[in-house]
Amino acid sequence: LIQYPHVSRVVRSLFLTAFVAFGIGAFMGVLQALHRTGVARLVDSADYYTLLTLHGVLLVIVFTIFFLAGVFAWANTRSLDRPPVSKRFTWFWVATMSVGTAMAGIAILAGLIPSTDISADVLFTFYAPLQAHPIFYIGLAVFIIGTWLAGIDWFRQYLAWRRENAGERIPLQSFMVLTTMLMWFIATMGVAVEVVVFLIPWSLGIMPAPNPLLTRTLFWFFGHPVVYFWLMPAYLLWYTVLPKIAGGRLFSDPLARVVFVLFLLLSTPVGIHHQYVDPGIAEGFKFIAMTNTMFLLLPSLLTAFTVVASIEHGARQRGGTGYFGWLKALPWRDPAFTGMALAGLMFAAGGFSGMINAGMNINYLVHNTIWVPGHFHLTVGTAVALTFMAASYWLVPRITGRKLYSRPIGLFQVVLWFIGMVFMSAAMHRGGLAGIPRRTAEPQYPQVTFETVAGSVSSLRLQLAFGGVLLFVSALLFLMNVGLTAMNNKPARNLDSALPPALSGPDQSPTVLDNLKLWALIAVVLVILAYSLPLYSIVQGAGLYPAGQEASPAVIAPLLEVIA
Ligand code: HEM
């Protein structure tokens, strides 16, 4: 980005916010891991939900999405080779996202101050009947508007390029940015309606408490595609940057395009799979959601094939030979490569535990147990977060012009994250199979014993806490390494950001893949098919505002008391 210093500044500021959120979120994570296992209780159990909300919101909304915005701003500019249309507009959406984040963050943190009546202990799945202060919901709405403006900015940048390049294929990275943002525009409709129509008026006390099932359904309309929103920048990096670092070229540009189109089509009509145990949604609708979910395996398996084929090509360019011998020729000492490779490996494990979650019947075994955080610490907590950390070792020198402070520390850090996650996530999965619930500061109840298949519950607790501590140390090393890189006096050398063309290039990919209007239209139709009848029957069943609900936060106070 040397020729576009203004874009570098934008990316740097987005990454800074992402990393601050990551640091605070990781600190909350280790506090939780130590607390709920009883290894060290450094906070009051009554504050557990504030910490958990902070952990969830900072890591899966702020860290992931700010980092995504930085990667997309970089990738769109790099691949179109032109800056965004208006500097002011770009800074405007950065500011909008930041103001929204600050509002939501302040509302959550205020929950720790007993003298205020502001709090937002509603977890990152902020549906009714848990209620937060209006500042939290307004902050979320402002944040989402900021992300929409970012999407508009990237589309304007693309359209300006298109005017000068009629008939050209959309450059691959830009194609990935645009399809992901189309998916995001569709997916966020659910959360926008939930927050603006129901939660904000309810929290202000001007409307009654909404039908909880309705807000849950609107939340999950957005809550599942958001996981692909976290994942797509990681895919972008695996498809376009990883092959270069491995010394080769992307195996297939057409396959990469097909994968992003499939995610645009299939990400949203699956959200009901989070509601298998919700009464009030007919089993048939749940079955449709399950079927759509299983189709999502297809783009993930295509990705596993394409990315491994690209890496193998790189290894063979470096002199690797044999069926498996080529693995030795890969740049394992490079933290960017090793981190992304380990992240991909963990994603495969996360895919398997995800299939258990997705199965309508077997889901009952693990529903609301600690198995579920075990699953998503493999996916968003490692496939995404570790890819972001590893990619930072490649990207941060490119946006700061400074040499990476320490490659060995980087390498140690990414491996430590992998090991920490093996401990923490395995213990969570096994604890879930024993029935240990998630989201509780006190998972031990009188007269309830949890039976493990092998080993004891106390050994699982220790493994979870140990893994959590390793992860926290890894997070600190990462922040120290990128922080010292940003302040490094030594300039970075060999900052070539050119990405080699794919072995099977865009000219071999059907032009219909670039027809974004067509894919967006099909995606909308699929969403209407999947959601119109369930939403209609929910509203028919209990109404928008169930009878007897008053327009007063007092409705929720007894529930909050129970939780506290
Ligand atoms: C939940 C620990 C990093 C996302 C949890 C829980 C623990 C934990 C113990 C379960 C709490 C409970 O259910 O009672 C840690 C540690 C981390 C870490 C020690 C690293 C230092 C991450 C990362 C992400 C993440 C990198 C995502 C990018 C989440 C989410 C939840 C969660 C979304 C669920 C919150 C909820 O149930 O509302 N974490 N985590 N964590 N973690 Fe992490």
Share of the chain above pLDDT 70, in %: 97
123 within ligand 1 shell (Cβ under 6 A): yes
For ligand 1, atom 35: residue with the closest CA: 56
3-state secondary structure 535-558: HHHHHHHHCCCCCCCCCCHHHCHH
For ligand 1, atom 17: residue with the closest CA: 29
234 within ligand 1 shell (Cβ under 6 A): no
Distance CA(8)–CA(73), nearest Å, equals 9
Q: How far is the CA of 19 from the centre of ligand 1 (A)?
A: 16
User: What's the pLDDT at 267?
Assistant: 94
Going by pLDDT thresholds of 50, 70 and 90, the confidence category of residue 564 is low
Q: How far is the CA of 162 from the centre of ligand 1 (A)?
A: 42
Distance CA(386)–CA(338), nearest Å, equals 10
Distance CA(136)–CA(142), nearest Å, equals 10
Does the pLDDT at position 183 exceed 70?
yes
**Percentages (nearest 5) of helix, strand, coil residues in the chain:** 70, 0, 25
- CA distances (Å), 514 to each of 87, 174, 268, 448, 507, in order? 27, 11, 20, 57, 12
User: What's the pLDDT at 130?
Assistant: 95
Nearest to 62 by CA among 140, 10, 115, 134: 140
Distance CA(58)–CA(61), nearest Å, equals 6
Distance CA(137)–CA(123), nearest Å, equals 12
For 128, list phi and psi in degrees, rounded to 5: -70, 155
User: What's the pLDDT at 557?
Assistant: 58
Going by pLDDT thresholds of 50, 70 and 90, the confidence category of residue 453 is confident
User: What's the pLDDT at 446?
Assistant: 85
Residue pair 11/69 in contact by the 8 Å Cβ criterion = no
- CA distances (Å), 521 to each of 41, 182, 237, in order? 52, 10, 27
Nearest to 232 by CA among 285, 188, 177, 155: 177
Annotated catalytic residue, options 224, 249, 273, 313: 224
Q: How far is the CA of 326 from the centre of ligand 1 (A)?
A: 36
471 within ligand 1 shell (Cβ under 6 A): yes
What is the chain's length?
564
35 within ligand 1 shell (Cβ under 6 A): no
Instruction: Look up the ipTM and state it.
Output: 0.98
Is 228 an active-site residue? yes
Q: How far is the CA of 18 from the centre of ligand 1 (A)?
A: 16
Residues 11-53: pLDDT tens digits? 999 999 999 999 999 999 999 999 999 999 999 999 999 999 9
For ligand 1, atom 18: residue with the closest CA: 29
Mutate to test the pocket of ligand 1, among 48, 49, 55 (most ligand atoms within 8 A of CB): 55
- Average pLDDT over the chain, rounded to an integer: 94
Residues 194-236: pLDDT tens digits? 999 999 999 999 899 999 999 999 999 999 999 999 999 999 9
Biggest CA-to-CA distance, the chain: 73
Residue pair 551/125 in contact by the 8 Å Cβ criterion = no
Is 224 an active-site residue? yes
Residues 231-262: pLDDT tens digits? 999 999 999 999 999 999 999 999 999 999 99
Does the pLDDT at position 548 exceed 70?
no
Distance CA(54)–CA(292), nearest Å, equals 32
475 within ligand 1 shell (Cβ under 6 A): yes
- Show the tokens assigned to 291: 């079927």
Q: What would the mean pLDDT of 449-467 be, rounded to a whole number?
A: 94
User: What's the pLDDT at 541?
Assistant: 87
Does the pLDDT at position 109 exceed 80?
yes
More confident site: 555 or 272: 272
Does the pLDDT at position 562 exceed 70?
no
By the 10 Å C-beta count (0-12 exposed, 13-18 middle, 19+ buried), 38 is classed as middle
Query: What residues form DSSP beta bridges with 369?
Result: 437
Is 156 an active-site residue? no
- Show the tokens assigned to 63: 């860290």
Annotated catalytic residue, options 72, 136, 228, 423: 228
User: What's the pLDDT at 2?
Assistant: 62
DSSP-based three-state secondary structure for 447: coil
User: What's the pLDDT at 510?
Assistant: 92
Query: What residues form DSSP beta bridges with 504?
Result: 252
For ligand 1, atom 39: residue with the closest CA: 29
Is 133 an active-site residue? no
**Cα atoms in the 13 Å half-sphere on the side-chain side of 19:** 21
Does the pLDDT at position 423 exceed 70?
yes
Residues 132-162: pLDDT tens digits? 999 999 999 999 999 999 999 999 999 999 9
User: What's the pLDDT at 546?
Assistant: 81
- CA distances (Å), 458 to each of 36, 44, 367, 449, in order? 12, 21, 22, 12
Is 216 an active-site residue? no
Mutate to test the pocket of ligand 1, among 226, 377, 413, 442 (most ligand atoms within 8 A of CB): 377
Residue pair 250/169 in contact by the 8 Å Cβ criterion = no
Nearest to 308 by CA among 344, 332, 333: 344
Is 376 an active-site residue? yes
- Show the tokens assigned to 231: 């994942």
Q: How far is the CA of 377 from the centre of ligand 1 (A)?
A: 7
Question: Sign of the CA dihedral 518, 521, 289, 256?
Answer: positive
440 within ligand 1 shell (Cβ under 6 A): yes
Residues 512-539: pLDDT tens digits? 999 999 999 999 999 999 999 999 999 9
Going by pLDDT thresholds of 50, 70 and 90, the confidence category of residue 560 is low
Residue type present at position 489: N
55 within ligand 1 shell (Cβ under 6 A): yes
User: What's the pLDDT at 549?
Assistant: 62
Residues 329-354: pLDDT tens digits? 999 999 999 999 999 999 999 999 99
Residue type present at position 10: V
Distance CA(129)–CA(122), nearest Å, equals 9
Q: How far is the CA of 80 from the centre of ligand 1 (A)?
A: 37
Q: How far is the CA of 381 from the centre of ligand 1 (A)?
A: 8
pTM over 0.90: yes
Distance CA(189)–CA(137), nearest Å, equals 15
Does the pLDDT at position 432 exceed 90?
yes
More confident site: 96 or 499: 96
For ligand 1, atom 42: residue with the closest CA: 56
Does the pLDDT at position 555 exceed 60?
no
User: What's the pLDDT at 93?
Assistant: 98
Q: Give the count of beta carbons closer than 10 Å to the beta carbon of residue 70.
A: 26
- Show the tokens assigned to 207: 């409307």
Q: Where are the alpha helices (DSSP H) in 200-296?
A: 200-203, 212-223, 225-240, 242-245, 253-266, 283-295
Annotated catalytic residue, options 55, 216, 375, 429: 375
Distance CA(184)–CA(450), nearest Å, equals 40
Residue pair 314/243 in contact by the 8 Å Cβ criterion = yes
Q: How far is the CA of 28 from the centre of ligand 1 (A)?
A: 8
Residues 396-419: pLDDT tens digits? 999 999 999 999 999 999 999 999
Mutate to test the pocket of ligand 1, among 59, 121, 219 (most ligand atoms within 8 A of CB): 59
- CA distances (Å), 241 to each of 75, 379, 500, in order? 10, 20, 9
**Distance between alpha carbon 119 and the CA centroid of its chain, in Å?**
24
Distance CA(375)–CA(354), nearest Å, equals 7
- Show the tokens assigned to 280: 């009030």
Is 88 an active-site residue? no
Residues 436-445: pLDDT tens digits? 999 999 888 8
Q: Which domains does the chain have, with CATH numbers?
A: 5-563 (1.20.210.10)
Nearest to 229 by CA among 181, 194, 192: 181
- Which helix H or strand E contains 183, and what residues bound it? helix 172-192
Instruction: Find the distance separating the first CA and the last CA of the chain, reported in whole Å.
Output: 49
